[in-house]
């Protein structure tokens, strides 16, 4: 509060000078004049101190607003970092669980495929040629479907690992999760 010190010293000096002048003046009628001058000096000093106090208050409010804005921005950044970290952890967990489920399913499907192909081979050897060929064809179709799906998943994983943002269609991959695209020759014309 050194901003008030010069004003206080000036008011004290002016008051001391007025008191000294009043005491040195032989006529007591001038004492009222010195009192009015002292009163005016005090009122002017009060207005001066009031303006200094307002400026100090405005500076404090501005500083507090800046500190709060800085703290708010730090909170936003930390929340965004936490959110991205949680999303990344959740994504890794989902991928891990999905890979486990695919591995289990692939093992079961592989065992069924081997059994089907074995049954087809046995049927061919035991003279059930037509049924054996149908069974082998079924097994080959299933194997082809799984090879196609594995290739599609591999390409999609490569795209995701490279960080490129491509849709499945632009990468030449069919998206089987959503609604199938409408084919123009299958549309019904309104009559």
- Residue-wise pLDDT for 103-158, tens only, equals 787 778 778 777 877 777 777 777 777 777 777 787 888 888 878 887 888 888 78
pTM of the model: 0.42
Question: Phi and psi for 176 in degrees, rounded to 5?
Answer: -95, 0
Q: What is the mean pLDDT of the chain?
A: 79
The upper half-sphere exposure of residue 87, i.e. CA atoms within 13 Å in the direction of its Cβ, equals 6
CA dist 140 → 41, 112, 118 (Å): 108, 12, 12
- Average pLDDT, integer, range 92-112: 82
183 burial (CB, 10 Å; 0-12 / 13-18 / 19+) is: exposed
Give the pLDDT score at 172: 52
**Distance separating alpha carbons of residues 71 and 175, to the nearest angstrom:** 45
Q: At what angle do helices 5-24 and 30-125 cross, to 10 degrees?
A: 170
Q: Is the pLDDT of residue 171 over 70?
A: no
**Distance separating alpha carbons of residues 18 and 35, to the nearest angstrom:** 8
Confidence band for 173, pLDDT divided at 50, 70 and 90: low
Confidence band for 166, pLDDT divided at 50, 70 and 90: very low
**Distance separating alpha carbons of residues 93 and 28, to the nearest angstrom:** 96
Q: What are 161's two structure tokens?
A: 């690992």
Q: At what angle do helices 129-162 and 30-125 cross, to 10 degrees?
A: 160
Give the pLDDT score at 63: 95
Q: What are 48's two structure tokens?
A: 């001066």
Whether residue 142 contacts residue 113, with contact meaning beta carbons closer than 8 Å, is answered with: yes
Q: Is the pLDDT of residue 174 over 80?
A: no
Helices (H), the chain: 5-24, 30-125, 129-162
């Amino acid at each position: 509060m050194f901003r008030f010190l010069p004003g206080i010293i000036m008011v004290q000096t002016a008051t001391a000078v007025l008191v000294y002048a009043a005491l040195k003046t032989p006529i007591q009628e001038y004492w009222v004049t010195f009192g009015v001058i002292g009163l005016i000096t005090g009122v002017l000093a009060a207005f001066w101190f009031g303006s200094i106090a307002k400026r100090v208050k405005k500076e404090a409010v501005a500083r507090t607003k800046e500190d709060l804005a800085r703290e708010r921005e730090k909170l936003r950044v930390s929340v965004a970092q936490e959110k991205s970290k949680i999303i990344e952890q959740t994504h890794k967990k989902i991928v891990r669980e999905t890979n486990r489920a695919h591995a289990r399913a692939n093992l079961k499907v592989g065992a069924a495929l081997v059994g089907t192909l074995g049954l087809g081979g046995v049927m061919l050897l035991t003279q059930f040629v037509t049924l054996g060929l149908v069974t082998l064809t079924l097994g080959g179709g299933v194997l082809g479907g799984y090879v196609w799906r594995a290739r599609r998943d591999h390409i999609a994983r490569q795209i995701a690992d490279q960080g490129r943002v491509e849709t499945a269609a632009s990468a030449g991959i069919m998206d089987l999760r959503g609604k199938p695209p409408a084919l123009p020759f299958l549309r019904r014309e309104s009559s």
